[in-house]
Structures are given as structure tokens and as C-alpha cells.
Amino acid sequence: MSEKQIYLDNTATNPVAAEVLSSMLPYFAEAYGNPQSMHDWGDGPREGVDAARQQVAALIGAQANEIIFTSSGTESNNFAIKGLAMAQQAKGKHIVVSAIEHFSVLHSVKTLQKLGFEATEVPVNSSGMVSPIDVKEAIRPDTVLVSVMLANGEVGTIQPIRDIAAIVKEAGIIMHTDAVAAAGNIAINVVDLGVEAMSIAANQFYGPKGAAALYLKKGTRIIPLLDGGIQEGGRRAGTENVPAIVGMGVAAELAEADIDGRAKRLSALRDRLIKGLASKIDHMILTGDASDRLPHHASFCVEFIEGESMLMLLSSKGVAASSGSACTSKALKASHVLTAMGLPPEIAAGSLVFTIGRDVTGDDIDYVIDTLPPIVERLRQMSPLYAKYLKDKGGK
């Protein structure tokens, strides 16, 4: 293992903040009761969950009774897509999503298609941006749900959700947005955005894995995925993961308190990384929108080589990064996000994603800028694609 250790894979997960961990510990062994219990042992855990609900709601400008705790962003997305569509099926069975949604959205839609629903995938442009006009044109009289992510964790592009939601609202349709990559990283207000449902996850803003939430606007009907208990207002059965929920609440409070300052600092580091690598590596494409992107996110496609090889060599130098999304980086196939953006599979295979954490320094960024170019050069020397490129270039 390298002496240098730089973690730039924060879209996959964050480390748990020290304040978050300390807030969770009492609920493992001291305040261990069930929040649903009527005796004294249930009081502390119930109060902890209630406080967390307030804290998470404040992060996104919601009311506490509009927060439903879940186990992950994937569960929140499954709950939203399946539950909202099923609740509205008397009005219609058509769903609109973007082509670059997380698989927890796209696969949920496929499940509904097996049950008789129809779906339209809206395309994106070369920077991964969804056009509100395309969404409007995809809406049909029987459309009951539109889901477009707030920001893409693979290329960092932030979508014009406010404009899209206004179109969806005018049509009298429910709007969901997957904000897992965005919540805690950029300022969010669900009222301003105009959405009825939003998915978020604690491990994207220094909270624990296994804690997430679905915002559901008051009065919006949804069919539960899990049956069997009265937890979460009867909408999500199962004994609450109290330590994780409490930790999510504290993480949300910390994120809200520092969100603008952290975004400003991280965007400066992001731009430093993008500029530095672009000056040293040729045939490298910045993926995602150049300006409307997450403040901590830098993503590229490096031509003639594969992302997995770069990841392994970066790891040997003490740098953690990713290639594609956390759910597809081991799939050894082209990212559906990058191909939807029009990149050919051979270029998409060279995907490299850096997501910068709050403890990363300018020196860390400079280390990556110095470390990656020799890795790229080494891999290209072994690449038949690069050899062919040089041969074709020399023959012209």
C-alpha cells in the first residue's frame, strides 16, 4: 500500500463524520429500545428518530412528516417509482424517465412494464443534460409519473429540474427526482424545485450506509413496498434502524450548516484537477456539463485505454477513484450514461471519475495531476488501439 492515501471516490460512499459516529453509538447499547414500544425504553429511540426526521427535512426544505426513512437510495427509488405509479394506475399506466437514470429507477420501470405499464426514455445531449422540451413532448394523456434525476453521479451534470417540474405540474402529473448524488452537496429546496418526491441517501453527505429517505409531498398517494407494520406512518414497515437514522439526521444538519462554503471550496479543487489533467493528457474528454455540474465532481474519458486499468494503477499509488457508477464499475461494459451521451463504447470504456471529499487538499489534487499522466502513458504503450492510432496518424 502506498504511503500516500487520497480518497476521490465519494460518489460511491463517504467516510462517516466523527460527529455522526458519536451520535450513533448510544443507540446501539444504551438507548436500544424499539421506537414503537410504549414503555420507557422506547422513548429515547423514538425521540432520536423524530429529531432526525426534522434534521433531514431541514436539509431539503421539507416538513418532517414528509420524510420516510429507508435503507438506501436504491430502496427510495424503488419505492418512489413502483409505489407512485401503482397508486396512480387508475389514471394511466405511462411513465417518463431520462435515459441516464440510476439502474434502481430504470430497472423499477422495467418491472412495471412487465405489469402492463409503458415507459418513454427521454434522451440527453452530449453533456448529459435533459431538455425540458423533450420531457414535455414525451408526456401523454395517460402519463402518471415523471422521474428525472437532480444530478448524475457518473458525469456530475445537474439537471434543470425546476423547469422540468413546472412542465410536469402543468400537465397534472407527479414528479420524482433522484437526488442521491446531489443532496448534501448542493443546496436543495423541494418547494422551489416543485417535485412531489425525492430520494436521498446519508452516505453521500458523511452519514452512515444503510440510511436513506424518500421525501413525499403531503397528500401524495403511494403504495408501500413493504407490508407488515405501522412504522413510517404505515408507509414503510419494519423495525427502524435507529442508530443509522440518528446518524443521518446529524449528517444532514452538518451538511446544511456548511453546504455553500464546502461547495465553493470543492469546486475550486475540482476546477484545479480538471485544468491540471487537461494540460498534461491529450485525447482526454471531459464528461458532463462544463459548468452545471456537482461542485466536487470531475469525470473524463481517456482514449485508447480502459478505466479499470487506470483504477488499479491509481490505487497502487494510493489514489481511490471510480470508473462509471458505483453499481456498474465492475461490470466491464460501457456505461449506459456515457453511451446515452453519444460516446462510442471504445471511448466510454476509458471512463474515470474523481469525486472530491471535504478533507482533500490542494496538495492532494496536485499529486493526482502528477500521478495520472505517467499511468496513462504506460497503459497506452500497451494498447493496440493506441498503436493503431499512431500508425494511422503516421501514415497520413
Amino acid at 265: R
Do β-strands 197-201 and 174-178 pair in parallel, antiparallel, or remain unpaired?
parallel
pLDDT tens digits for range 122-170: 999 999 999 999 999 999 999 999 999 999 999 999 999 999 999 999 9
Q: How far apart are CA 69 and CA 215, in angstroms?
A: 9
Q: Which three cell numbers stand for residue 101?
A: 437514470
Q: How far apart are CA 318 and CA 320, in angstroms?
A: 7
Cα–Cα separations (whole angstroms), residue 177 to 140, 156, 329:
19, 15, 23
pLDDT of residue 325: 45
pLDDT of residue 274: 98
Same fold yes or no, 6-13+259-394 and 18-255 = no
pLDDT tens digits for range 259-274: 999 999 999 999 999 9
Residues 6+ apart with CB under 8 A from 201: 72, 73, 76, 180, 183, 211, 212, 213
Residue with cell 456498474: 328
- For the chain, give the percent of residues with pLDDT over 70: 97
Residue with cell 413493504: 226
Distance of CA 207 to the CA centre of its chain: 14
pLDDT band at 59 (very low <50, low <70, confident <90, very high): very high
Q: How far apart are CA 156 and CA 344, in angstroms?
A: 19
User: CA nearest 211: which of 84, 393, 49?
Assistant: 49
**Active-site residue (options: 87, 187, 263, 327):** 327
Looking at per-residue pLDDT, the higher value among 58 and 324 belongs to 58
187 within 8 A of 260, measured Cβ to Cβ:
yes
pLDDT band at 395 (very low <50, low <70, confident <90, very high): low
Least confident of 98-112, 148-162, 324-338, 371-385: 324-338
How is domain 18-255 classified at the CATH fold level? Aspartate Aminotransferase; domain 2 (3.40.640)
Q: What is the mean pLDDT of the chain?
A: 96
Q: How far apart are CA 293 and CA 181, in angstroms?
A: 11
Q: How far apart are CA 53 and CA 47, in angstroms?
A: 10
pLDDT at position 14 over 80: yes
pLDDT tens digits for range 183-200: 999 999 999 999 999 999
pLDDT of residue 396: 52
The arithmetic mean of pLDDT across residues 41-64, rounded, is 98
CATH architecture of the domain with residue range 6-13+259-394 = Alpha-Beta Complex (3.90)
Distance of CA 237 to the CA centre of its chain: 25
pLDDT of residue 393: 87
Sequence ranges of the domains in the chain:
6-13+259-394, 18-255
Active site includes 327?
yes
